[in-house]
Chains A and B, each alone.
Chain A
Amino acid sequence: AQSVTQLDSQVPVFEEAPVELRCNYSSSVSVYLFWYVQYPNQGLQLLLKYLSGSTLVESINGFEAEFNKSQTSFHLRKPSVHISDTAEYFCAVKAWGSQGNLIFGKGTKLSVKP
């Protein structure tokens, strides 16, 4: 079985500051990793994903995440946040070769203050 731990339920930061949202996972098999973002009153949107290959993955809006197999982590980073980045962020995993579905972390609320 897989599990996902998002270590911070809330992360307040000031605009233009860097941010890191932490995600650790547990799995006995290899996994696919995802970050989703949910803005107020909306569904979840895929931010980025790690399937294989380069361990650093980037999104079009400046976020990046690095897969670290030894530390079983997939932390999300952005060097300079904007007010519009205020949202809930969910880390999720899916096991290779399984019919199973995404296992979500509990989410991290990023609040960007002016």
Chain B
Amino acid sequence: DTEVTQTPKHLVMGMTNKKSLKCEQHMGHRAMYWYKQKAKKPPELMFVYSYEKLSINESVPSRFSPECPNSSLLNLHLHALQPEDSALYLCASRGPGEGSPLHFGNGTRLTVT
């Protein structure tokens, strides 16, 4: 079982739809991450939140909009996506300390049609 919970597990959306991915953790971690993973590739960092503030945006297109409502929740709002945005979207959190590892959720498998 993972301590980072992501919903939904699967999502199919059209290019004109608006949808949101959700992530929740109750480990008290104050750093939360969104990654995108294409098939047979490593995860690519998208966004980092630290203490509920956006600290890193890896030049992600504006059709992806992150939100951190509180220290336990992380959302990723999706709008006007392209088929090439289809991927596994992973949420992760990290505890204090430089060497603390990332804890990943099981991801949302997104298909854009």
Contact = CB atoms under 8 A, between A and B. Distances in A.
A44 B48 CA distance: 17
B107 interface: yes
B98 interface: yes
Interface residues of A, number: 24
Contacts of B107: 42-43
Indicate the size class of the contact surface on chain B. Answer: 20 to 34
A-side interface mostly? loop
A44 B56 contact: no
B42 A104 contact: yes
A32 B98 contact: yes
Interface of B: 2, 4, 6, 33, 40-43, 45, 48, 55-56, 90, 92, 98-99, 101-107, 109
Interface of A: 32, 34, 36, 41-46, 49, 51-52, 90, 94, 96-97, 99, 101-102, 104-107, 109
Given A49-B101, A99-B55, A109-B40, 8 more contacts: A32-B98, A36-B104, A43-B107, A44-B102, A46-B102, A90-B42, A101-B45, A102-B45
